[in-house]
Amino acid sequence: MNAGTWARAKALFEQAMELPASERRAWLDRAGADADIAALVQTLIESTDTLDGFLESPPLVQPEDIAADDGWLRPGARIGDYSIVRKIAEGGMGVVYLARETSLGGRDVALKALPPATSADPVLRARLKLEAEAMGKINHPAVATVYAFKEIDGQIFIASEYVDGRSLRELIKEGPLPQERAVELALEIADALNEAHAAGVVHRDLKPDNVLLTKRGGVKVVDFGIARVISHGGPDLTVPGYAIGTPAYMAPEQFLGGPVDARADLYSLGVVLTEMLTGRRRSEDGVPSLPARIAPIVRRCLQHDPAARFASAATFREALLTQRKGESRDRWWWRFHQAATIVAYALLLMPAWLVRRAVSGPTIGGLAGRWLFVVVLAAGIVAITLRLHLLFVSRAGARAVEQQRRLSASSLRAADLAFAAGLVVSGLFVENLQAPLAVLLIGAGAAAGVSALVIEPATLRAAFDEETTVEGSTSR
Amino acid sequence: MSDRPEFHLLPIVYDELRRIAARYIGGERPGQTLQATALVNEAFLQMSAEKTRQFQNRAHFVAIAALSMRQILVQRARARNAAKRRPGGERVPFDENVLSVPHPNGRANDIDLEALDDALSRLAEFDPEQARIVELRYFGGLTIEETAEAVGVSPATIKRQWVMARAWLKLQMESA
């Protein structure tokens, strides 16, 4: 077969396959191709009928093709003081086993080693040693404690605190976190980073996979595998051809291989916070929308220029704490307003009741006042009940309020306006005798209207801010 | 990934190889993770032996990973076939592994990788693009769309080429 023959056969084959199966043969005969090419195409067409999934399923690896000793530590294996329980994580930079320390009453440790394929690589060995050193410098409850760095039978290991819990990645997979929880976690991570930075260590690979959640609800930042010890002045083991980190979480300067400091971690933390709140990262298509109060903080983390970000994890924490404080103050105001409205509505039913007989309206025989009171009473009860409901669900967080408010917004507004209008009308038609009450009713009705139309939307917006979009300073 | 030539992300390479290998092994039977890992290690070693190699993008990387995987699997298959052919060599009276291993998707997988590799090499002589498509689809596990992106043609073209290449390869393997 030569390329020219094949190319002609290919052209015929493709045209023939466009036709219904029954017409292909006749078409091929009419096409006037060389006999051998036509025959080839005919055979190929027939062959397509018998493909039946041929090459559609992946090649199967034969068990005998796999070397028995692949270098991994099996459960039960003994390495010095440690007895391997199982492998818990694996990646290009290392493998982590759960092991039991036999000499010290059998405490669990996380044993990190290099993957067998790279266990002799001097660069990776140096990096693992550096990781142990970096972790050893940090003393913080949110950073796993290093117990030992050992070389056993030519293999090197870091033994550190074993964290029994799942990763933030797994939590995010279940959906976006409630804002309160996301902020709480971001504060804890920032605190751990702050401690690391103070010790001269930049993590450089912060991502949800590297944040573990302990069973007690705390946070442990792990995998300082590519951390850089700044004060070291020593080698930054980023060898050309081995650029490291995880692109989606990487600060631009790190991505481009430039000098990296604490602010690179804050960039990553900004991406992580976005992902906690929305379930998505900013680099994916579209820009996720964030709560308006948090958006500027995230935006500042995600600045292209490190100088435009927060100067340290501590200032990031302060910004987030201030935000949280402001939010709880605004929520207090909203709650106060709701409660005050409920009380005022209830009290106003009294004068409305008192004037019902004094109202002389253009209706039949004194009925106007009574009907007006029924309207005010019904509207008042609806408005009070809905407000009590909103107050109650507000304990479950912003999202619950938003949802319930959307459901009840139109009924609540209708009830408020009916209540206000009822009061004003009652006031207008009260006979002169009751002048002070009439003024009270008109004034209260007007106030209720203004409150429902102007004040309440404002307190609500401040307390449960609407979503906003983070415009990244730059996109890559 | 960046278009900077030195971009070569170690963990990503490893994860990508794991994804490809996991596909070969399939299922969740005990021991299979170990098999995938062993395969990944070997491919990883093979790929990182050439440190000068630089990946332009993910498609380029997957193409090279697929080639590595193909080489490893075929080399294993050749060794196994040679052992069977050797008179007095390893006696495999009835090789149930090769004849009818139930495949994860339920189909018996009895493709002779040695014969496939020979046929694929012949195909590459007169239609390198089709051979590459088979390599990416079969050994690299790419979908039609991903293959289209890697090769730089439309998915419709890939689909047609994929059918034709398979038709030809099947004929070749049956006549071998």
Q: Cite the DSSP H helix spans in A138-221.
A: 168-173, 179-198
Assess contact for A98 and A86: CB atoms under 8 A: yes
**Which is the catalytic residue, given A49, A52, A153, A205?**
A205
For the sheet with A211-214, list strands across it: A165-167, A211-214, A219-221
Check CB contact under 8 Å for A59 and B35. Answer: no
What pLDDT, in 10s, does the model give residues A161-178? 898 888 899 999 998 888
Taking alpha carbons only, the member of B111, B94, B102, B92 closest to residue B29 is B102
Q: Is B35 on the interface with A (CB under 8 A)?
A: yes
Neighbours of A75 (CB within 10 A): 12
Q: Does B175 touch chain A (CB under 8 A)?
A: no
| Contact A122/B at CB under 8 A | no
pLDDT band (50, 70, 90) for residue B152: confident
- Which residue of A2, A51, A66 is in closest CB contact with B170? A51
Q: Smallest Cβ distance to B107: which of A43, A53, A90? A: A53
CB A60 to CB B44 under 8 A? no
Exposure pattern of A36-69 as b/e (b: 16+ CB <10 Å)? Answer: ebbebbbebbebbeeeeebbebbbbbbebbbeee
| A53 touching B (Cβ < 8 Å) | yes
pLDDT band, very low/low/confident/very high, at B30 (cuts 50, 70, 90)? very low
**Which of A34-48, A143-157, A270-284 has the least mean pLDDT?**
A270-284
Which 3 state secondary structure label does DSSP give B127? coil
Closest Cβ–Cβ partner in A48, A61, A241 for B163: A48
A331 pLDDT higher than 80: yes
**What letter would DSSP give residue A47?**
H
Contact B80 A64 (CB under 8 A): yes
Summarize pLDDT for A412-445 with one digit per residue, the tens: 989 999 999 888 888 887 765 567 878 888 888 8
Question: Known catalytic residue: A205?
Answer: yes
Amino acid, res. A380: G
Evaluate whether B126 touches A10 at the Cβ level (below 8 Å). no
Strands A228-229 and A211-214: unpaired
Task: Return the top range by mean pLDDT from A224-228, A311-315, B18-22.
Answer: A311-315
What does pTM read for this prediction? 0.56
Cβ distance of B171 and A44 shorter than 8 Å:
yes
Q: Residue A84 contacts by C-beta under 8 Å, 6 or more apart in sequence?
A: A73, A74, A75, A76, A77, A78, A97, A98, A99, A111
| A92 pLDDT tier (thresholds 50, 70, 90) | low
**pLDDT range class, residue A191, cuts 50, 70, 90:** very high
Specify the higher pLDDT residue, A36 or A283. A36
> Using CA atoms, how far apart are residues B175 and A445, in angstroms rounded to an integer?
95
| For residue A60, pLDDT beyond 50 | yes
Q: What is the mean pLDDT of residues A59-86?
A: 69
The alpha-carbon gap from B60 to the nearest alpha carbon of chain A, in Å, equals: 15
What average pLDDT does chain A have? 81
Q: Which helix (H) or strand (E) holds B83?
A: helix B58-85
- What Å distances lie between residue B3 and A49, A204, B44, B58, B64, CA to CA? 43, 21, 22, 10, 17
Name the minimum distance, in Å, from the CA of B119 to any CA of chain A: 13
Instruction: Please give the Cα distance from A330 to B41 (Å, whole number).
Output: 56
Residue with more model confidence, B160 or A249: B160
* Minimum Cα–Cα distance from B55: chain A residue: A241
User: Looking at the DSSP assignment, which residues form a beta bridge with residue A110?
Assistant: A98, A160
Q: Do A58 and B26 touch (CB under 8 A)?
A: yes
Q: Rounded to an integer, what distance in angstroms lies between the CA atom of residue B19 and that of residue A240?
A: 25
Question: Considering only CB atoms, which chain B residues are within 8 Å of A2?
Answer: 126
Looking at the complex, report in whole angstroms how far the Cα of residue B36 sits from the nearest Cα belonging to chain A: 9
What residues form DSSP beta bridges with A96? A89, A112
d(CA A308, CA B20): 41
- Pick from A57, A87, A124, A169 the residue to mutate for testing the B interface (most B CBs within 10 Å): A57
- What is the structure's pLDDT at B6? 32
pLDDT of residue A424: 87
Strand A467-469 relative to strand A289-291, pairing = antiparallel
**In this complex, do B9 and A51 lie within 8 Å of one another by their Cβ atoms?**
no
Percentage helix, strand, coil for chain A under 3-state DSSP, each rounded to 5: 55, 15, 30
Indicate which of A56, A64, A69 best probes the interface with B, i.e. most B CBs within 10 Å of its own CB: A64
A151 touches B: beta carbon within 8 Å: no
Q: Which residue of A has its CA nearest to B135?
A: A55
Q: Is the complex ipTM higher than 0.85?
A: no
Q: Span A327-334, mean pLDDT?
A: 85
Tell me if residue A50 falls in helix, strand or coil. Answer: coil
